């Protein structure tokens, strides 16, 4: 693969006349600035790295927009979760594959080139295990095959309904594993990874409420036998009730307790590290772990604000995720991450972090790099040795007309809701050309069929 771009974002700086070359495996073998195009394909606009979506529950795409009418009392994360459990009860393997495929096409079109699938819908509708313990995981891999997005599959360990090993409720039966069955699931997932393309795996203890300290330790031991460097993701401090319950049970806040009891390191991704005090914020930044921020979902569920400015000031690393799929757009996640800070602090350009820096460039390059780290998939840079995961923006779009190098990413993030992503390359292969995916009509028809069944 050879691609020539008049402008490209390399690290956190824009360069001119950049020639990208990649081998047959989709790895970049040369990235040359001030180059000649030669026989390379010409990019139709500026090139930026693709973003790894660090947190996704694919099946939740089916309920986006379905929990926005007010119930009898105050609506909250917990009432939303009840709605989600009702929808979960109906999902078949075919439904999951159809919905995930449509979702992944949407992700590619908006600029996500990889997805970390935090997968907890494991069992059949009656709560019993399928004959193949990885039946539902396999459907995620099928969706990845159909669409060409990269995958970091994270089978979830879900054991309890609350702190103190509370027994799971009826709405949670499809999620639950004990240590032995979780081990079997992991082994089956490793086989799927070996048979797949551009995919890897990690583990995901669901949260401190759904997995005890002992069960997390056991899962980490199981993981060590399979991989030395696979990622570890966990929902950590999304809701104040969760923080209070954790304090009652463990005598410590969730992030504080996790940092005190586990070797939290750069392999970890702490999803929804929303409620942290300054000491916890400092501790996560120092650990090198990635904070998985899902701005639109956290806003939709009324979770709270992630302490982004303090965290970045301490060199904290972050990734973004579409989580509940109420938005499938890295632009919207990043824009609202910044806007949340502006609204709170009554200042502008908060996350640019230093004078002269472009907010859009800082957000995009940090999210690309943190997302790749969270997925255990390189550095999220367009550099030699990295995977050729890149986006070509629409250079002919009025919003990018006569834009200076230094402000291209600001136009991308802060100029509204027109999707400026034109072409998308994953591992050296074009998956989106001129805003189209080659299988999108068939995938959309399957999605519509599944939605009719789920909503009937």
Which residues sit at the interface with Zn ion, rule CB under 5 A? 323
Nearer to Zn ion, 183 or 205 (CB): 205
Q: Is 353 helix (H, G, I), strand (E, B) or coil?
A: coil
Residue nearest to Zn ion (CB): 323
- The answer to whether residues 37 and 5 touch, using CB atoms and an 8 Å cutoff, is no
* DSSP type of residue 167: P
Placement of tokens 């550095």 in the chain: 379
Instruction: Give the nearest distance from C-beta 406 to Zn ion in angstroms.
Output: 35
Residues paired with residue 21 on neighbouring β-strands, in sequence order? 2, 30
Nearer to Zn ion, 323 or 394 (CB): 323
Q: Is 60 helix (H, G, I), strand (E, B) or coil?
A: helix
- Distance of alpha carbon 40 from alpha carbon 266, whole angstroms: 37
Q: Is 29 helix (H, G, I), strand (E, B) or coil?
A: strand
- The answer to whether residues 3 and 32 touch, using CB atoms and an 8 Å cutoff, is no
Nearer to Zn ion, 300 or 446 (CB): 300
Q: Could you give the residue numbers annotated as active site? A: 272, 323
- The answer to whether residues 3 and 38 touch, using CB atoms and an 8 Å cutoff, is no
- The answer to whether residues 28 and 392 touch, using CB atoms and an 8 Å cutoff, is no
Query: If you count them, how many residues does the chain have?
Result: 456
Nearer to Zn ion, 323 or 332 (CB): 323
Max CA-CA distance within the chain?
66
Instruction: Give the nearest distance from C-beta 452 to Zn ion in angstroms.
Output: 26
Instruction: Give the nearest distance from C-beta 321 to Zn ion in angstroms.
Output: 7
Instruction: Give the nearest distance from C-beta 333 to Zn ion in angstroms.
Output: 14
Instruction: Give the nearest distance from C-beta 272 to Zn ion in angstroms.
Output: 7
Nearer to Zn ion, 284 or 352 (CB): 284
- The answer to whether residues 358 and 406 touch, using CB atoms and an 8 Å cutoff, is yes
């Amino acid at each position: 693969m050879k691609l020539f771009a008049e402008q490209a974002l390399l690290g956190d700086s824009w360069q001119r006349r950049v020639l990208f070359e990649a081998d047959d495996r989709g790895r970049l073998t040369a990235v040359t600035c001030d180059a000649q195009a030669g026989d390379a394909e010409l990019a139709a606009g500026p090139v930026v790295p693709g973003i790894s979506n660090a947190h996704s529950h694919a099946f939740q795409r089916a309920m986006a927009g379905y929990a926005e009418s007010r119930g009898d009392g105050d609506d909250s994360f917990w009432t939303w979760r009840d709605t989600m459990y009702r929808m979960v009860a109906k999902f078949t393997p075919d439904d999951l594959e159809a919905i995930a495929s449509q979702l992944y096409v949407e992700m590619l079109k908006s600029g996500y080139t990889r997805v970390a699938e935090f997968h907890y819908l494991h069992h059949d509708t009656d709560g019993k295990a399928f004959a193949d313990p990885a039946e539902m995981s396999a459907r995620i891999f099928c969706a990845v095959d159909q669409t060409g997005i990269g995958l970091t599959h994270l089978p979830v360990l879900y054991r309890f309904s609350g702190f103190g090993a509370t027994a799971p409720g009826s709405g949670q039966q499809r999620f639950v594993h004990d240590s032995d069955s979780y081990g079997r699931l992991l082994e089956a997932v490793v086989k799927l990874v070996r048979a797949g393309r551009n995919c890897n795996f990690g583990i995901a203890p669901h949260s401190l409420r759904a997995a005890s300290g002992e069960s997390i330790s056991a899962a980490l031991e199981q993981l060590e036998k399979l991989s030395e460097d696979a990622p570890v993701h966990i929902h950590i401090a999304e809701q104040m009730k969760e923080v209070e319950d954790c304090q009652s049970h463990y005598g410590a806040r969730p992030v504080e307790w996790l940092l005190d009891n586990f070797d939290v390191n750069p392999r970890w991704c702490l999803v929804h590290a929303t409620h942290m005090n300054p000491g916890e914020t400092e501790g996560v930044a120092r650990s090198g772990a990635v904070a998985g921020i899902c701005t639109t979902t956290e806003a939709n569920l009324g979770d709270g604000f992630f302490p982004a400015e303090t965290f970045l000031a301490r060199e904290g690393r972050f990734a973004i995720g579409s989580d509940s799929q109420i938005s499938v757009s890295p632009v919207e996640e990043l824009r609202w991450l910044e806007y949340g800070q502006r609204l709170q602090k009554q200042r502008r350009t908060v996350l640019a972090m230093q004078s002269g820096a472009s907010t859009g460039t800082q957000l995009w390059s940090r999210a690309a790099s943190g997302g790749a780290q969270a997925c255990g998939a390189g550095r999220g840079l367009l550099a030699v040795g990295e995977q050729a995961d890149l986006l070509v923006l629409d250079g002919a779009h009025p919003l990018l007309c006569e834009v200076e190098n230094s402000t291209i990413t600001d136009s991308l993030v802060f100029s509204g809701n027109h999707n400026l992503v034109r072409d998308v390359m994953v591992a050296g292969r074009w998956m989106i050309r001129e805003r189209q995916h080659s299988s999108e009509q068939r995938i959309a028809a399957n999605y519509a069929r599944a939605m009719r069944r789920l909503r009937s």
